[in-house]
Amino acid sequence: MRQKLTMLLLGAASVLSSCSTQIERHEKNELRAPAYPLVTIDPYTSAWSFTDNLYDGSVKHWTGKDFPLIGVAKVDGQLYRFLGMEELELRPLVKTSEQGTWTGKYTIEKPADGWQNADFDDSAWKEGEGAFGTKENETAAKTQWRRVYLGTSGSGYSGRLDR
């Protein structure tokens, strides 16, 4: 028993004596990688950040060519860019439902041929307030739909939208 106690005390003493009370100071290293990979699929499809912060510059291909990739998060109605940098400010061609109200003619039935042309008679179509979408999933949606055909009058868009 005495031998076990002695060994325990010697072990504890050796552990405590090996602990240093000196504070080690590390100097900041100015070395950094020239680029950080963000998306790497293959050598021909890869996106890199050449800056320290993801939002300080545009995302680039490894060759240095700009790679149009922007990351935006919407929190409590406020947009925050966290990735990439746009060269110019992009503005929508047509108001979004968050920027103002707009109406568009639509139908949920397959329309006659030529419906996407500007001179198509859409007088029998319904009219609804934009944005079109699934209200339970999209807070900005004002007109419920699953499959809709939007006409050219009013909306500024002509095409089929599937959900």
Domain co-membership, 111 together with 158: yes
User: Would you say residue 160 has pLDDT above 50?
Assistant: no
Q: Poorest-confidence range of 23-37, 39-53, 112-126? A: 23-37
Domain co-membership, 78 together with 110: no
User: Would you say residue 155 has pLDDT above 70?
Assistant: no
Q: Do 149 and 131 form a contact (C-beta atoms < 8 A)?
A: no
Average pLDDT over residues 41-53: 85
Which pLDDT band holds residue 16 (cuts at 50, 70, 90)? Answer: low
Helix (H, G, I), strand (E, B) or coil at 7: helix
AA letter at 45:
T
Domain co-membership, 148 together with 117: yes
Q: Do 25 and 54 form a contact (C-beta atoms < 8 A)?
A: no
Q: How many CA atoms lie within 13 A of 113 on its CB side?
A: 0
95: in domain = no
Residue 53 sits in which domain range? 36-83
| Residue 143 tokens, joined | 């007109």
User: Would you say residue 159 has pLDDT above 60?
Assistant: no
Q: What separation in angstroms does the CA of 87 have from each of 14, 65, 100, 133?
A: 62, 13, 26, 31
Backbone angles phi, psi at 4, to 5 degrees: -65, -40
Domain co-membership, 112 together with 148: yes
24: in domain = no
With b meaning 16 or more CB within 10 Å and e meaning fewer, what string describes 64-97?
Answer: eeebeeeeeeeeeeeeeeebbeeeeeeeeeeeeb
Which pLDDT band holds residue 139 (cuts at 50, 70, 90)? Answer: confident
pLDDT, tens digit, for every residue of 74-130?
A: 898 888 888 888 777 767 777 777 778 888 888 888 888 888 888 888 888 888 887
Closest CA to 158 of 37, 125, 11, 48: 125
46: in domain = yes
For residue 156, the model assigns a pLDDT of 47
Average pLDDT over residues 53-72: 85
Q: How many distinct structural domains can be found in the chain?
A: 2
50: in domain = yes
Domain co-membership, 74 together with 112: no
6: in domain = no
Q: What is the pTM of this model?
A: 0.39
- Which one of 27, 52, 83 terminates a domain? 83
